Structure 1
Amino acid sequence: MSGAARIIAVGDIVTDVLAVLSGPLATGSDTPADIQLTGGGQAANTAAWLASRRHPVTLVAVVGDDEPGRARVAELTAVGVDCAVRHCAEAPTGTVIVLAGQGDRTMVSERGANVWLAPADVDSALTHAPDARHLHLSAYTLLDPRSRGAGRHALAAARERGLTTSVDAASAEPLRRLGAALFLDWVREVDLLLANADEALVLAGTGNALAQAARLTGAVRHAVVKRGGAGAVWATRDGTTAEAPAHRVPVRDVTGAGDAFAAGLLSAWVRGADPATALTLGGELGAVAVSTVGARPPA
């Protein structure tokens, strides 16, 4: 996408062990499933979906000095992601077991080398990407105390360089354990916060999605609440709002749908699109994601 502002995506890259279940999970017994190993990780997924739109993107992450790490970097490079990914010997490449079915997914995570993300990784990527205009942070970096310093540094360094910023709230249960007040203090004055319905409930409390998004603008400048099949809403600190319906498609696997949505939305917004248009384009990529098995764009 010629002339588009480069986006720096900061966060996790993992191997997903994806099991698409044939029916409800039979706890304590056997459940047939289609199982595959695929690339995953919130920041890596968003970067891959951005690259699928030919939007310039750099991924900042850490993998192990192992074959899975080399494979994850190679597949991202092949689809057009500029990988500022460090290989470290201290831990293996992260792995996530994903149980997908009935329109939802449950994840069991080992972050592995992702916890070794350092401020220097972010600074190096920013130095080598002078055309960058936006930094997108996966909140997984903030929710783990071992990578929290790098995540907070990424937001501060981006602001110092004049980049706009966005944060994906990542996961409801870690947010609940951390506490909304502390998380919102860490992301205060971020340009855009994205949260799904469960995450918005933790961060903003009860109420409809528009009310939750509006409440979040007390901390951030713009807030988006993703509602899956019910579409998404956007609230701005000045009181303006926007909504967009979901695209109706057969749902095969929701893994990575929020990451695809973020990519579609950001690719439009950093080019000056209004909130309604950005939501619509986010929904388009989200629809492709849920109709595809795995967290990455179809080949």
Structure 2
Amino acid sequence: MTAAARIVVVGDLITDVVAVLAGPLATGSDTPATIRVSGGGQAANTAAWLAAQGVPVTMVGAVGDDDAGRDRVAELERAGVDCAVDRQPGTATGTVIVLTGDGERTMITQRGANLRLSAAHVAQAVAEAADARHLHLSAYTLLDAESREAGLRALAAARERGLTVSVDAASAAPLRRVGAATFLSWVRDVDLLLVNSDEAAVLAGGLDPAAQARALSATARRVVVKRGAAGAVWADRSATVTVSPSRRVAVADVTGAGDAFAAGLLSAWLSNSDPRSALSHAGDLGAQAVSSVGARPTP
């Protein structure tokens, strides 16, 4: 497979309200910040970073039939993403308030229309992407009961089409709520599972990153543990473990860094790069993402 093969990305498309805090949050009072409103959502961000690398990509999701939804779709289309986005009347487009500072971020989420993504819409979008060779699923779609059927249908449709599949585990708190055993049963035998350090701890326990990756490779064929500034770890069922070093860059905002990393990893791996090269390319895009405010590539 080459990077020219189409990737179908399924998951959330939202509005990000990013507040880069000038100092510690003053609870009950005022905290100065730089605030930016732009497109977000784990799946949509990954799609935008893929398009920026010249990868043909289709974004499958849902927005409200409102100005925000129209703006979010238009942004992606300008970025070169093909959109198979269902507009839901009477429902607001999702919004996330992101508080970021000191290399960390906290997200306050209203998933909105993303909760109404239907299995039928996903199945039709996958069927219509005739040149697709890979499907990437943001696990937010699986982790919320209201959109879970759509996430499960995405995985099933990809398998029926013979597509390779990757899943980004999305977020530690909802993973903890559904439980590790349940989540791992949903993603069994996917080709690639991406987790960050917190998600790896939920799914594999308090092991070191290489041991976590090896343990999770009993479920997924390949596992990457994203460790932010500490780099990343790759493991597969051949017992191969590859460690990528960190990238030292000035951090402006960590929002979307994992999504950029996922896009870099997918574009390289699907072009038959070896694990070390794929991790290196993913790290480069992650470093690029944290160097500016916002979750998408700078136009």
Letter of the 1:59 counterpart? M
- CA deviations over 1:49-107 (Å, ceiling 9, x no partner): 00110111000000000000000000100010000111111411000000010001000
Q: For residues 55-134 of structure 1, what are the structure 2 equivalents within 5 Å? A: 55-134=55-134
Identity %: 66
In structure 1, the residue matched to 2:156 is 156
Structure 1 residue ranges, 4+ long, deviating more than 2 angstroms after superposition: none
1:273 aligns with 2:263: no
Q: Distance in 1 between matches of 2:297 and 2:116?
A: 27
- CA deviations over 1:179-213 (Å, ceiling 9, x no partner): 10100011111111000000000001011111000
Q: For residues 226-237 of structure 1, what are the structure 2 equivalents within 5 Å? A: 226-237=226-237
**Which consecutive unaligned segments of at least 5 residues does structure 2 have?**
none
In structure 2, the residue matched to 1:54 is 54
- Give, in angstroms, the shift of residue 3 of structure 1: 6.3
- Give, in angstroms, the shift of residue 4 of structure 1: 1.2
Q: Distance in 1 between matches of 2:271 and 2:126?
A: 19
Equivalent residues of 1:90, 1:113 under 8 A apart: no
- Give, in angstroms, the shift of residue 278 of structure 1: 0.8
Change (3 A) 1:296 1:3: closer
Instruction: Report SS of the residue matched to 1:17.
Output: strand
Letter of the 1:125 counterpart? A
Letter of the 1:249 counterpart? V
- CA deviations over 1:216-239 (Å, ceiling 9, x no partner): 011111000000001001000121
In structure 2, the residue matched to 1:264 is 264
Q: Distance in 2 between matches of 1:281 and 1:132?
A: 22
Letter of the 2:10 counterpart? V
Instruction: Report SS of the residue matched to 1:115.
Output: helix
TM-score (norm 2): 0.98
In structure 2, the residue matched to 1:288 is 288
Q: Distance in 2 between matches of 1:203 and 1:90?
A: 37
**Which consecutive unaligned segments of at least 5 residues does structure 1 have?**
none
Equivalent residues of 1:76, 1:83 under 8 A apart: yes
Aligned length: 298
Letter of the 1:153 counterpart? R
Q: For residues 203-282 of structure 1, what are the structure 2 equivalents within 5 Å? A: 203-282=203-282
Letter of the 1:236 counterpart? D
Equivalent residues of 2:17, 2:38 under 8 A apart: yes
Q: For residues 28-43 of structure 1, what are the structure 2 equivalents within 5 Å? A: 28-43=28-43
Q: For residues 8-19 of structure 1, what are the structure 2 equivalents within 5 Å? A: 8-19=8-19
Single out whichever of 106-115 and 24-33 deviates more from structure 2.
24-33
In structure 1, the residue matched to 2:191 is 191
Instruction: Report SS of the residue matched to 2:246.
Output: coil
Equivalent residues of 2:3, 2:271 under 8 A apart: no
Q: Distance in 1 between matches of 2:288 and 2:109?
A: 25
Q: Distance in 1 between matches of 2:107 and 2:3?
A: 37
- CA deviations over 1:20-75 (Å, ceiling 9, x no partner): 00011111111100011110000000000001101110000000000000000001
TM-score (norm 1): 0.98
Equivalent residues of 2:164, 2:191 under 8 A apart: yes
Instruction: Report SS of the residue matched to 2:289.
Output: helix
